[in-house]
């Protein structure tokens, strides 16, 4: 097939490569414009942009798809379908209607659960035991289109956003290739999304990363696994921000929420509304990630709580 590929971040790259390797002709790649990544305001191309250039595919970076000139340019590629994976721009109806097979979206959840911007993180935060990939025929609504095929992926008590992100990216790449191989059949059997079970994966905000120990330990553990690398999770100890990169939830009573303690097995435990959180990997701003014991030996911030262990 002649395809337009529309995607921007790392998540989208495996699908782009898989489609090319499967023998499809990628006539154009659409992605977000280069962004400033440092204080020097140097523009950096996104992961899909870089991958497409390495593959010799023309790249387009419009800031909107709503103007007539951009829509004419899109139509000029004469693609059979457009494949969309974490693109970042709204596709108006006129764009959706241009390819004969429309626009197919690789969405990182089991729709209709977790429509929207952050489905991977929201699934972990909510304590879901599974998520997956949905290949969807796109409509003008937010992730509302008919579902062509789904693939389930388990979420365990050790699942982190980076691990789940990479797993879903590969699953999505394989699934879209298989879907295109029998596209007419999948389109005939498409299932309209039910209204029951709809949830929205709101965009992450930085404030979500501050741990609130008036919540249960298992909920905070999910936040640590879901919100790294961004916005990250942290605690504020007397004005000093300490990043929490890894922890382990504990059952039992460890005192008032926010109180520090330790056991022979866990050098630093923070009490929560239910249970405690055994901190395992910590980081000061500007510092490197450290094992909790090395952190305590090297920083006086919390060492007063654990004099015997530090010695």
Instruction: Tell me the binding residues for (6S)-5,6,7,8-tetrahydrofolate.
Output: 109-112
- Residue 139 DSSP SS3: coil
d(CA 308, CA 311): 5
Burial 240-275 (b: 16+ CB within 10 A, else e): eebbbbbbbbbeeebeebeebebeeebbbbbbbeeb
Phi then psi for residue 181, to 5 deg, are -65, -30
Instruction: Please provide the DSSP assignment of 236-301 as one string.
Output: EETTEEEEEEEEEEE-S--SSTT-EE--SS-S-EEE-SSSEEEEEEEE-TTS--EEHHHHHHH-ST
Phi then psi for residue 178, to 5 deg, are -65, -35
d(CA 39, CA 305): 38
Q: Which long-range contacts (CB under 8 A, 24 or more apart) does 214-218 make?
A: 214/257, 214/258, 214/272, 214/273, 215/272, 215/273, 216/272, 216/273, 216/274, 216/275, 217/249, 217/250, 217/251, 217/272, 217/274, 217/275, 217/276, 217/277, 218/127, 218/249, 218/274, 218/275
d(CA 229, CA 179): 32
Residues in the chain: 311
> Residues forming the annotated binding site?
109-112
d(CA 114, CA 198): 7
Q: What is the DSSP letter of 130?
A: E
């Amino acid at each position: 097939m002649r395809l337009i590929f529309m995607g921007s971040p790392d998540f989208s790259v495996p699908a782009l490569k898989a489609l090319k390797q499967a023998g499809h002709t990628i006539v154009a790649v659409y992605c977000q414009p280069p962004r400033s990544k440092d204080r020097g305001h140097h523009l950096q191309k996104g992961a899909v942009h870089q991958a497409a250039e390495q593959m010799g595919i023309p790249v387009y970076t419009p800031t909107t798809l709503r103007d007539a000139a951009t829509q004419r340019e899109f139509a000029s590629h004469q693609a059979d379908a457009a494949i969309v994976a974490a693109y970042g721009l709204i596709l108006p109806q006129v764009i959706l209607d241009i390819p004969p097979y429309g626009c197919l979206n690789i969405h990182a959840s089991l729709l209709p659960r977790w429509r929207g911007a952050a489905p991977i993180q929201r699934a972990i935060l909510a304590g879901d035991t599974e998520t997956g990939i949905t290949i969807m025929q796109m409509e003008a609504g937010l992730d509302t289109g008919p579902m062509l095929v789904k693939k389930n992926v388990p979420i365990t008590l050790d699942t982190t956003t980076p691990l789940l992100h990479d797993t879903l990216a590969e699953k999505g790449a394989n699934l879209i290739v298989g879907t295109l191989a029998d596209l007419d059949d999948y389109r005939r059997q498409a299932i309209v999304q039910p209204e029951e079970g709809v949830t929205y994966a709101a965009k992450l905000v930085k404030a979500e990363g501050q741990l609130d120990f008036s919540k249960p330990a298992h909920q905070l553990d999910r936040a640590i696994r879901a919100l790294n690398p961004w916005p990250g999770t942290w605690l504020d100890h007397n004005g000093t921000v300490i990043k929490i990169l890894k922890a382990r939830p504990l059952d039992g009573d460890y005192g008032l929420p926010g109180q520090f303690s330790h056991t022979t097995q866990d050098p630093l435990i923070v009490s929560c509304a239910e249970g405690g959180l055994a901190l395992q990997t910590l980081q000061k701003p500007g510092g490197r990630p450290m094992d909790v014991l090395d952190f305590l030996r090297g920083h006086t911030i919390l060492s007063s709580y654990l004099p015997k262990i530090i010695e």
